[in-house]
Structure 1
Amino acid sequence: MKVIFFPFKSVMVLALSLVSCPASAANIEKGGDSIMGCTATLSGEIAPEDAAKLGTFMALEGWGTDYYSGKDRLCLNSPGGSYLAAVQISGVLNDLGIGTAVAAGDRCESACAIIFMGGKRNGEAGHFWQDRVLNPDGILGFHAPRLTVGEGSYSESDLERAYEIALKSIGSLQRLKLNPHYEFPDSLFIEMLDVPSDSMRYIETVSDAAQWSIEVGPVSFPGGDPDELAKNACLNAQAMNLEYSIDQFEVPSPLFSTSRVNGSEHYFRTVPGFLFEGAYACVVRFELNQFDLPVGKRRLGWFLEFDVNSPEFLEQQHLWPFMLYPPSAALEDLD
C-alpha cells in the first residue's frame, strides 16, 4: 500500500488511491559522493518495499552496530514516493544513528525529504546530534502529500476506510516526531502540510536551513568583519531556537558587549535582550580551523544562551560554518 503526499482537504480521495499506485523500487547501493562522506546511496522513486530492502542492506553492511555512530551516511537522490516507507526509513536511520546527505546536483523532494530529516549521529552516554547535510548545490524540497485519484465509484464504507487510512498515514510521522531523539521541527511540519502538492517548499537560503536545523556544506570561510560574522551566527542560531525567520526583529546597535579575536579563536557576547526585550544574550565562541574538517564533522564551536542576570548555562547548540553567512544569503551563492 502506497501513501503519497496529499493536501488535507483531499484526505478521503487520496486514501482510496493508496492501493492503485504502484511505484518502481529505489536503487540502494554501496558508495556515494565522497565530498559528502556517503557510504551508500538511495536513488529513484521510493516504493513501499524499500523500507525492508534498506533494512536488509544495513544489516548486511553492519550499519548501526557500533557503540558510537558516525561512520555511515546515506546519500539521497529521489523525487519522492511512498510516504509510509519514507517515515519508516527515517525512523530507522534515526534509531541507528545514520547520517543523511544530498550531494551537489542531486535532489531530494517530497517523501525523500522525510527520510533526509531522520539523519542523526549517536554519541557517548545517550548524547546525539542531527547529521543531515545539504550541499549548497543540492536541492531539498517539502510539500504536502500528493493526491492521486483513481477512477471508479465508492461506497460509504470505502470512504470511511479511506479516511481512517489517511489519518493514520499523517499520524505515522507525528508519532515519530514524539521520539525525543527525532528532531523534525513543528514549524517545518506545518509548513510542509501548507504547501500544495503541485508546489514545493525548497530550502533556498541560510535562514531556511538554520531555522529547521539543516546543516549546509561544504562552505568556505566567508571572510570579512569578525563582528559581522558573529552577528550572522547569532541571528541564524536564534532562528534555529525559534524555528522561524528572525527578519522582522531589529538588531541592537551596538550589538556586542564583548568582542575578542585571538588568532583563529573568536569570542563574542551580545548585549542583554538580544533581538527582543527579556531575551537572553547570545554568546558565540568558535575556531576557524574547523573549516578544514570533513563535511558533517565541521563544528565551529558553540552558540550559547545565558540568562541576563545569571551566568548559569541555559542552552547550547552547534554552530555550523554556513551560519556565519547572512540569513538572507542564497545557498547556491555560498562558496
Structure 2
Amino acid sequence: MRLSISSKLGIVIVASALVSFLPLPVRAQAVAPVSLSVDGSTACIDGEITPAVAADFAALAGRTGLKSVSLNSPGGRVFPALEIARAIKAAGLNTIVPSGSECHSACAFIFLAGRERIAQGKLGVHQVSGVDDPSLTQTAIGRIYEDLVTFNAPSYLVSRMLRTPPGDMYVFTPEELERNSINIRDASKAQSVPHLLPVETWLRQSWLVGVFVNTHTRQPFIALESNTMMPLLRIAHYPQRSQTFVEIMVPEGSISGTSTQLELRFAHGNDDPFSLFVNADIETNAYAFDFPTDPVAIQKFWAAFATGTQLTVLNSFGVEIGRYSLAGSRRALEDFFKVALR
C-alpha cells in the first residue's frame, strides 16, 4: 500500500523562497576575449558565450562541409548558448572538448547538442542561476530542461547539475563521461536514455527537493533526493495516485531476490542511534519500500529524518548499503510537504 502525504504527519509547513536560476554565470576569473573561427570542417568556440558569438555562429552553422564544433569555454549566457546548441542540433554537427580544454557552465549545453559528442578535456556543470532579468520565470527554466531532453542529456548529468550550487562546478571524471552516456561516440548506436524533467527544484545542503516529470510516462511527481548519488536515496510522491514511497537506487543487476528487510539507522550527534526496520521490494535497480502503516512509526520516521545528523541504510546481513548526511533535511522536508499539500 502506498501512503498519501497529509498534514497529520506533524510537519510544520513554512514558506520558502524559490531560488532563481538564470543565467549561468561564468566562473569568477579573468575571461579571455572570445573567438569564433573555422579550421577545415571544424568550428572553434574559444572563450565566453555571448549574444554576439551566437549571432556569428548562426551565420556559419549551415556552411557546407562543416561537421563539428570544438569547445573551450568557461561558460557565459544561457540563452545564447542554447541558440548555438539548437543550431548544432539542427545541422547534425558533432561536438568535442579537446584534451587540455574545458567546457563549463553554459558551454555544457552546447556540448550536449552534438550528434556525436566527446569530452576529452574537462566538462563541468552547476545550477542555472542569476537574478538580473525579472522576466525570466520558472516556465523559462522548464524550457531549458526541455531542450536538454531533446539533446538526449542523461538524467545523471541533469541530476549533477541540479545538485551543484551556482558558485561551485562539478567536473565529470572520464569514467562518468563514458558510463553515463554523456559521451556519445557513435550516433547510430546511441539509445535514448531515461529522463527526468525538472519543473521546480530547491537545493537544501545535502538534499534536493523538486517537482519532476518522467518524460517517458509523462507523470509528474515530487521528490526529495539525497545529494549522494551512489546510491541515490529518493522519497517520491505521486499526487495523482496518492502514493508515497522510498527508493534506493543501485547499479542494475547488483542485487537479486524479490524482497528483504532494511535497517534505517538514524544518528543524532553523540546520542544512541535510532533504527527503523522496513520490508523492501527488490527491483532491477533499486530497493523500494512503503512507509510504515502505523501512524506512530510514520511520525518517528519523519521526526528522525528532520532532526538526525546521519542516516545509514543496512541490508538484512548488516552490510551498509548507503550513508547519507541529514544536513538541511528539516528545510528540505518543509519544501517537500509544502509542494505536496498544494
Report the TM-score, using the length of structure 2 for normalisation.
Answer: 0.45
Q: Indicate the structure with greater strand content.
A: 2
Report the TM-score, using the length of structure 1 for normalisation.
Answer: 0.46
